[in-house]
Chains A and B, each alone.
Chain A
Amino acid sequence: MTLAEKLVARAAGRDSVRPGEIVTCRVDLAMMHDSGGPRRVKPMLERLGVGVWDPAKVVVISDHYVPAVDAESAAILDLTRKWVQDAGIDAFHDMQGICHVVLPERGHLRPGLFVVGGDSHSTTGGAFGAFMIGIGSTEMAGVLATGEIWIRVPPTIRLGWLGRLGPGLSAKDMVLKMCGALGMSVGNYKALEYAGPAVAALDMTERMVLANMAAELGGKVGLIAPDETTLAYLRDAGAGPAEAGDWQTDPEAEIEATHDFDAGTLEPQVAAPHSPENAADVDAHAGVAIDQAYIGACTGAKLSDLHMAATVLRGRRVAPGVRLLVAPASTRTTQQAAADGTLAVLTEAGGILLPSGCGACAGLGAGVLAEGEVCISSTARNFQGRMGHAGSQVYLGSPYTVAAAAVAGRITDPRGMLTEQAA
């Protein structure tokens, strides 16, 4: 069986499953945030007249509307806090960072789990060998009421990465390359599994980028088989007993398709407005003048991302007339980046620190764009109007590339600006 099939079979209480079968799975963990979570599921559960099936299996994280900027967002957060109490949910991480980063950071994920998340980038959990899918609020209400969900067993597409990334390249370049080469629906109704030496060489925060942006490739899940790197991260996070065990695709398992890429020849990637699939080598967009550089989001502002930005920004200044905004992905990220000197490098270069949360990534918080403005961003999506005005232009790139654009005032190859790794 494939890794995906093994994970689904376990959750369905079956010895084996086949792609295309519809099965009912027991849910090990359900994660919600303030936007799609309590404010939406509360009235639905009330209508059904039931409570949460198992409060110990629910994690709530406020990240979309934090900190509140007006009465509406304050009311959403207030409702979230009260509902969590009423529902008896202990695992509530209020304003501690973006859900996809906080969930593994606080030890909630482990290989083998079947997890649902009320957010499309819930695929991030696949980096830890968990079968984690994104669902909508009504679906979530169904899970909270019953502890179960039906799914169609997905066939697996293997995304293989040979070679090794060069300096100034990152998982974001890998995943944008795949968006450009394969398009945003290649993974629709399918399990994506990343493999190969270049994937194995990535640390967990970088693997999370690949799993996270499985969503941009259309995937139901974005899996990476757990290994020593995974287990070491989980030990540090206090995740409890975790084993890599048999959580990998068997050599004889049936794979629907394989796409191989070479990390060794990869160039920094930039996706032009308004889609991640408009990705191309950075040279194709070099020279585009920018107004804003944004380092933020679940995929683009973890500690490793801030380190990348710092290697470019050390001893440099943001170009006049350009603003560099940095929203660390979690409070723990901020603490670590403060302790190791990274934050100082970013702010000395002229970067402006924003709260940990979704912020401008989804046009909800500080840092949104005016009509006609151009931004380069380390986030996952550049759909029209997502970061502000429908007439703004958002390019996507790695933290290296975003930082280099902030310094140059225009999109440029970051490899000419690398200094020693901060910290």
Chain B
Amino acid sequence: MSTETGHAWVYGDNVDTDVLAPGAYMKLPVEELAKHCLEAIDPGFAGAVRPGDVVVGGENFGMGSSREQAALALIELGVAAVVAKSFARIFYRNAMNLGLPVLVCAEIDGIARGDELRIDAQRGRVENLSQGSVLQCEPIPDHLLAMIADGGLLPHLEKKLAGGRA
């Protein structure tokens, strides 16, 4: 999908929705909220992350609330994808619905903060240019790939409703 590269921001297990989208800022527009994304565990993140960068997590990334601002804040900051060993189920669906590719990859332990990565969501591949390695992720189910190709659930539904069929 993408031939762009970005740098890795690496976090541990159980990155939760309250640190991704802190409650205190939830009533503000997402542009404001995004400035506080991950602030509790990495105060420098929102200011330094660049469009195309990739967030790398451990197990159960995005656990907690159903607030999709957790994914929206990452999108707002230009994050191109999230790669983790596993995702909390609501975050996984929210991110895909919003068009943020999330990849389940068992072998991310070797990725270091700042590594240059190239993500291919369609083929489920993470290329680590800094280390010269390629990681294979779990394939994304076909119906979700179709949705991502449309840009997320809303554009997908728009198409469906316009066409009068699935």
Contacts and interface: CB of A to CB of B under 8 A. Distances in A.
A258 B124 CA distance: 33
Given A22-B143, A275-B14, A363-B22, A136 B90 contact: yes
A185 B40 contact: no
A139 interface: yes
A220 B59 CA distance: 16
A314 B70 CA distance: 42
Contacts of A49: 161
Interface string A354-391: 00000000111000100000000000010111101010
A2 B66 CA distance: 26
Contacts of B93: 135-136, 139
A386 B64 CA distance: 11
Nearest to A69: B27
Nearest to A215: B64
B157 A146 contact: yes
Given A188-B86, A220-B89, A119 B66 contact: yes
B23 A363 contact: yes
B88 A384 contact: no
Contacts, number: 125
B111 interface: no
Contact of A383 (B59, B64, B86, B88): B64
A134 interface: yes
What 10 A-B pairs come out closest when comparing CB atoms? A363-B23, A136-B68, A136-B94, A185-B60, A390-B40, A383-B18, A138-B97, A120-B66, A385-B40, A362-B23
Interface of B: 14, 16-19, 22-24, 26-28, 39-41, 59-60, 63-68, 71, 86-90, 93-94, 97-98, 141, 143, 152-154, 157-158, 161
Interface of A: 22, 35-36, 40, 44, 47-50, 65, 72-73, 76, 118-120, 122, 134-139, 141-142, 145-146, 150, 184-185, 188-189, 215, 218, 220, 275, 362-364, 368, 381, 383-386, 388, 390
Given A138-B153, A386-B23, A388-B24, 4 more contacts: A145-B161, A150-B143, A185-B14, A364-B27
